[in-house]
Every structure is written in structure tokens, then in C-alpha cells.
Structure 1
Amino acid sequence: MKVYMVGGAVRDRLLGLPVSDRDWVVVGATPEAMIASGFTPVGRDFPVFLHPQTHEEYALARTERKTGHGYHGFVFHAAPDVTLEQDLQRRDLTINAIAEDEDGRLIDPFGGVRDLQDQVLRHVSPAFAEDPVRILRVARFAARFTEFSVAAETLMLMRQMVEHGEVDHLVPERVWQELSRGLMEKKPSRMFEVLRECGALARLLPEVDRLWGVPQRAEYHPEVDTGMHLMLVLDMAARLKASLPVRFACLTHDLGKGTTPPQLWPRHIGHEQRSVGLLRQLCVRLRVPSDCREIAEVVAREHGNIHRAGEWTAAALVRLLERCDAFRKPERFEEILLACECDARGRLGLGEQDYPQGQRLRRALRAAQGVDAGEIARQAQARGLSGPRIATLIHEARVAAVAQAL
């Protein structure tokens, strides 16, 4: 029985990056031998075990054979006669197919070290085409390793997979898992650029894909192209260390512009409500978590109004705060403002500009929060008032407080 460290831990160590999780492959062992050594079995699809002390994952060396479409269409074979090279050959990229033995010696049968040095994302073998999740993984790695390029032959293979309909068999959970991880990478725009280049974006996120080639008013968008603007917004969100819900809101805030009739370009009147409708469909299709969906919907509907907050009266600001549910969920409202700031600064040449609208709305919210709604309600009830009339009194008091503060 021999044990090797494999995958991302070896790759990241060679790149000089911190190593958080380590994965191990065991060659020449059986499940019974692993259990006898104190390991705990956890794998459902193939034999994976937890180390008795470190609780790190140890997988028996295995091969796989494609039996159907999609992520689950495989039969795995794990046995003592499966070699390390056979196990590495089934991996996605050469940079993830490097192993290290207990003495620190590298086993690199597919040139992963060379590709790390050359900064290339290259598939290990033709078996790459059997798993469509790997298209998403390559795109995600492009967003993480921003200086790496996708090998021409790998990109060609990815295009062929798309043309053969492989991505159409991806389950929503895996698409969202990889998409959400890619959004949180260093330069998320690269994920979408790679997906678009191989044709997968049009299959997985047609609402996003159709934004390229759609012009906007140059006085507001020096970059003009809506797809280019979206990429700038996503990278601004990464630069500002935004959370996943904020980054998803940035991704989906302008979907409606893709459905503006060309004869109405470059104006996009009413795109906000169209964006909300498309967003809801996308969220159902990919089973997007509620925290991401809720913030994205408010941003899609209100980002134009938030951008214009510097021109608005106290009454209009309070109505905007109410529509954003800022009084009940001030923390969420802060994330909404951050998404809008990313939208405003995600424009060609405008990345360093301030976003005074956000500061004005924060001041307005603080002033309105100073109103004692409970006391107003008690006094109104003592006068025999109820329901909508109490809500109106609270609203009017908030407007007065905001007017005085601003």
C-alpha cells in the first residue's frame, strides 16, 4: 500500500500558494485494509476514507468508464491493481494530475509541472470530454489563475462537447456550485469569457450571453457594450471583496437589456422590470439560494433609482428605502448599495470614482431609523387611529427626519 498527495494541494504548493485542504490517493489497498487500519469509509460512489487522526480524505486509486450523459453517467473501478498513473489520467487538467509521494518526490506523467511553469490550462486526456462539469471547472480555474490561458486543443474539445449537447445534461445543483465558486474567484469575468468562447454560456445562461453586442448610451457607459460592462462590474465586485449575493446581483442586474428591441437601442427603457422577470426564471432553473435571489431582485429593480438618489427629495428617498425593505433589513440594504456601487464603477475609465449616492442613502436611512415608530403608533392608537393611517404617520415622520438631516 502506497500513499500519495494529489491534486490541488500539490499544485498550490508548487505555485507558492497556501495549502488548506489536502487530498490523498492510496494505491494497492482494499476497503477492508483501509478499515482495518482505522480509516472511516465515507464515499458513496467510490471508496473514500477519513484518516483516523487528521480526518483528511484518502481515496483508493480508481478508473472510470462513461455509461451515460452528465455528471452521474460513470461507473468507477477501484482495486489494488489500479496504478497511480491510471488514477491521475482520469483527472481534468494536467496541473491537477501531479502526485507527490511520502518522500516529496513528484510523479508527473502528463506534464503538469511544465504547464504550471508555462501558465497553461490543458486537459489530461480525451476522457476530459466525458464529464461536462469540467467545462465549468476550466472556466473557474481561469478566473482563479488569472495569468493562465486555456490551451487551444482544450478549448476546441470544450467547443465540441457543447456542440454534442453534453452541457445540456448538467444538473442545476452542479451548475450553481461551479458558478458560485467562480463568482468568488479573483477575476470572475474570465470565467464568463471562457464559457462564452466555447459556447457553453449560451446554453447555461442565455440571459447573460445575449448581453454582448447590445449597445448602451455612451454618456453613461463609455464601454458601450453591455456584456463588456457586465464583466467590469463583476471584477469591481471582486476588487471590493463583495459577498456571493452581491456578486450574483451584479451578474444579473442588467438582464433586461438583452431583450430590448434593436430599434430602441441604445436606450433601454423598462429594462429593470424585464430584468426581474428574467432573473426569476434563471433562479428557478438553477435553484439559486434565497439570499442571492432576494438581493439580486431588489438590485435589478431599483439600481437605476439608487443611482439617481442624489437628485431625489426626502419623500422620494424614504419611498425608495421602503421598497428596498431597508428598515427591516438594513444589513441587506448595505449589500444592495455595494452592488449598485459596483455597477456605477464598473465602467470604462470610471473605476476610481466615488459613489456619493450610497453615502446619501446611508445618511437618509440613519435619520429615518431615528424615528420612534412604536411611540408614533401608540399615540395614534390613543387617538383611535389604526392600520394605514398609522403607517402614513410613520412615513411622514421619517420624511421629515430625512429632510432635516439632508
Structure 2
Amino acid sequence: MQIYLVGGAVRDRLLGRPASDHDHVVVGATPQQMIALGYKPVGKDFPVFLHPSSGEEYALARTERKSGRGYAGFTFDTGTAVTLEDDLRRRDLTINAMAEDADGRLVDPFGGAQDLQRRVLRHVSDAFVEDPVRLLRVARFAARYAPLGFTLAPETAALLRAMVDDGEVDHLVAERVWAELRRALTEPQPSAFLRVLRDCGALARLFPQIDALYGVPQRAEFHPEVDTGIHTEMVVDMAARLAPGDALIGWCALVHDLGKALTPADQLPRHVGHESSGVAPIRELTARYKPPGEYAELAVLCCRLHLQAHRAFELRPATVVDLFEQLDGFRKKERIEQFLLVCSADKRGRLGLSEVPYAQADWLRTAYAAAAAIDAKPFVARGLTGPAIGEAVRRERVAAVAALRPPGEARSG
């Protein structure tokens, strides 16, 4: 029996990055031998075990054979004759198909270390096409490593297009698509995820509401980048910068402008009412991929209300309080900051505006603090009851916001 450290831990060590997971492959062992050594079996489809002390995963070396459509259509061989190279060959990218033995010696039969040096994402073998989830994983790795200069190998890009053309991507289950998208939104450059999917045609199949944004023009005085699809890429990257690792903020940033794809051609490049028309496509996506309820709810709110944040200096005090109430911000305080992060990403996710301060957010934070400081207890002490308490609290909140006197600023789209 031989044990090797494999995959991401080896890749990240060679990149000089901390490794979050340490996975191992066991060659030449049977499940019975692993159990006898104290390993706890946890694998459903093939033998995976947890180390009795560290809790790290140890999987028996395996090969895969395609037996049907989709990511689940496989049969596995975990016999003792399966070699380490056999196991590594079934992996997605060469940079993930490396191993280290117990003495730290690198085993790299497919040139992963060289591809790390060249900053290339390259598939290991043609067996890549058998699992459509790999297409999403490659796009997610692009989102992770694009800031380091990684690009997709031309032959891998061609393979992704072939997978889409062959219809394999159409067999992806919604839960797996959402899981990969959610993880991609936590990476440093989510726009790379979108670009990989769009270049191979998968974006139009999986997220047609997002794909439809590309080529739709906007007013250049508000959006120097003009193209709404490019703006969306810039917004999700800015969201990743302002709220690192926060997929909720990334999701709301991704879908906040979907209504612009529905603007009639004779109205372009203006997008009057896009904050309302964008709600339906958001609901289409949430119905298809079933994200957590908070994702679905906050995305709709950000879509509907983001223009109010941009126009904060023009709003009447009562409208500002209305905004906080529509966000349910007096019960869910975190909503205000989440909303303002999305609006900040929208405002700064524009060509040449990434470093421009978003003063509206600072003003709205101040206004919210003043409004939220109003307490109902004094009104109860005066003898008010029922709806009269809420009405009195609201009047005081409006007065508190009015006392702040926001600076004037020209309208921004």
C-alpha cells in the first residue's frame, strides 16, 4: 500500500499558496484493509475514507468509465491493480493531476508543474469531456487564477466548445451548476468564469439571461464601457474586491442589471424602467437554480432599488426612510450594508471609475444610523398604542434624516 498527497494541496504548494484541503490517494489497498487500519468509510460512489486521527480524506486509486449522460454517468474501478498514474489521468487539469509521495517527491506524469510555470489551464486527457461539471470547474479555476496571469490552453478552449456543441452541458443538474457558480463568485475575478462560459457557448445554455446582456449598449456618459455585459463583468469583479469571498454580494451584483437585456431596441441606449423589468429574469434564474432564499430576496431588492441609492442626494427624507423600510433594514440591519456594497460595486464597476469614491453609500450609512437610532420606547411612555407608535417612529426617522442635509450631486445613471 502506498499513500500520496494529490491535487490541490500539491498545486498550491508549488504556487506558494496555503492549501485548504489535503487529499490523499491510496494505491494497492482494499476497503477491508483501510477499515482494518482504522479509517472511516464515507464514500458513496467509490471508496473514500477519513483518517482516524487527522480526519483528512483518503481515496482508493480509481479509474472511471463513461456509462451514461451527465456527471453521474460513470462506473468506477478501485482494484489494487489501479496505478497512481491511472488515477491522475482521470483528473480535470494538469495542475490538479500531480502527487507527492511520503518523502515529498513530486509525481507529475502530465506536465502540471510546467503548466503552473507557464500559467496555463490545460486538460489532462480527452476523458475530460465525459464529465460536464469539469467545464464549470475550469471556468471557476479561471476566476481563481486569472489575477496570477493564467489563461486557457487553446486545445482546452476548443474542447469546451465541443462539449457544448455535443449537448453534454445540457445534462448538468441545477444543484451542481449553482454550487460551481456560488464558488466562482467567491473567487478574486469572477468575470473570468463568465468569459470562459461565454467563449464556449455554455453561458447562453446555462444563464441565458446573463448572456443576453452582451452587446446591449448603455449611455456612455454613465457607462464609459458601454456594453452591458462588460459592465456586469466589471461589477462582479468589483464586488469580489469590496466583499471578498461573499457569494451573496457577488450574486446580487451579477443579476442587478438583467432588465437591460429587455429594453426595446428603439429606446437604446437608455434603459428606462430596467430596475423593474429585471425582476422577472432574476426570478427565472432562481426558479431554475434554487439558490438560498436570502439570495433570491436580496437580488430582487438590489435590482429594484439600486437606482435609488445612486440618486440618494436627490431623494426626499421620506423616500430615504422608504428605501430602508423596503430593504427591511430596521429589522435586518445587515441588509443595509449588503445593499450598499452591491450598489458600490455597480457604481465603481465602470471603465475608469474603479477608484472613484461612492459618496452616496457613505451618506446612506449616515442616514440609516440616524433613522435606526429612533426608538419606540419614548412614544410608548407617552401613551401611544398600536399603529400610532409606528407612525410616530416613522415621523421621527424622517425628521432625523432631514436634519442631515445631504450634499447635492448631479444625477447618475
- Give TM-score, length-normalised by structure 2: 0.95
Q: What's 2:278 paired with?
A: 275
- Residue 153 (structure 1) aligns with: 155
Shift of 1:349: 0.4
1:177-196 paired onto structure 2 within 5 Å? 177-196=179-198
**Contact 2:376-2:389 within 8 A present in 1 as well:** no
What is residue 308 of structure 1 aligned with on the other side? 311
- How far is the alpha carbon of 1:153 from its aligned partner? 0.8
- The DSSP-based 3-state class of the residue aligned with 2:71 is coil
> Partner letter of residue 152 of structure 1?
P
Aligned twin of 1:86 = 86
Match of 2:251 among 248, 252, 277: 248
Query: Equivalent residue for 2:208?
Result: 206
CA 223–130 in structure 1, closer or farther in 2 if over 3 Å, else same = same
> Does 1:19 pair with 2:19?
yes
State the shift of 1:378 in Å. Answer: 5.7
**Could you say which residue in structure 1 is the equivalent of 2:56?**
56
Structure 1, unpaired ranges of 5+? none
Q: Percent identity?
A: 58
Q: Any conservation in 2 of the 1:245–1:293 contact (CA below 8 Å)?
A: no
Map of 1:400 onto structure 2: 399
Match of 1:363 among 363, 366, 379: 366
**Counterpart contact for 1:310–1:356, Cα < 8 Å:** no
Paired residue type of 1:38: G
| CA displacement at 1:390 relative to structure 2 | 4.2
- Give the aligned residue type for 1:365: Y
> Match for 2:392: what amino acid?
L
Matched, 1:170 2:172: yes
CA distance in structure 2 between the partners assigned to 1:40 and 1:372 by the alignment: 55
Which residue, 336, 341, 353 being the options, matches 2:339?
336
Q: What is the aligned counterpart of 1:217 among 204, 219, 226?
A: 219
The alpha-carbon deviation at position 217 of structure 1 amounts to 0.7
Gaps of 5+ in 2: 406-413
Task: Determine helix, strand or coil for the equivalent of 2:158.
Answer: helix
Residues 1:348 and 2:366 aligned together: no
Deviation at residue 311 of structure 1 after TM alignment: 1.3
Secondary structure class of the residue paired with 2:58: strand
Q: 1:380 Cα deviation (Å)?
A: 5.8
Q: What CA distance in whole angstroms lies between the structure 1 residues aligned with 2:363 and 2:67?
A: 59
**Contact 1:23 / 1:57 at 8 angstroms: preserved in 2?**
yes
Q: Which residue of 1 aligns with 2:103?
A: 103
Q: Distance in 2 between matches of 1:379 and 1:204?
A: 58
Q: Is 2:146 the partner of 1:134?
A: no
Residues 243 and 249 in structure 2, CA contact (< 8 A), matched pair in contact too: no
Once residues 280 and 390 of structure 2 are traced to their aligned partners in structure 1, the CA distance between those partners, rounded to angstroms, is: 29
Q: Distance in 2 between matches of 1:356 and 1:154?
A: 44
Specify the alignment match of 2:199 in structure 1: 197
Q: Does 1:289 align with 2:292?
A: yes
Structure 2 letter corresponding to 1:332: R
Q: Displacement of 1:295 after TM fit?
A: 1.8
| Letter matched to residue 395 of structure 1 | R
- Which is worse superposed, 363-372 or 11-20? 363-372
Please give the alpha-carbon distance, in whole angstroms, between the structure 2 residues aligned to 1:107 and 1:381.
76
What is the alpha-carbon root mean square deviation over aligned residues?
1.3
Q: How many residues are paired up?
A: 402
Shift of 1:261: 1.6
Q: Is the partner of 2:29 in helix, strand or coil?
A: coil
3-state SS of the aligned residue for 1:405? coil
Name the residue aligned to 2:409: none
Q: Deviations over 1:340-362 (max 9, x none)?
A: 01100111001111111111111
Q: Does 1:376 align with 2:379?
A: yes
CA positional deviation for 1:73: 0.8
Tell me the amino acid that sits aligned with residue 375 of structure 2. D
Deviation at 1:132, TM superposition (A): 0.5
Does the 8 Å contact 1:380/1:390 carry over to 2?
A: no
CA contact (8 A) 2:219 2:226 kept: yes
Give the whole-Å Cα distance in 1 for the aligned partners of 2:380 and 2:198. Answer: 55
Shift of 1:394: 2.5
Q: TM-score, normalised to structure 1's length?
A: 0.96
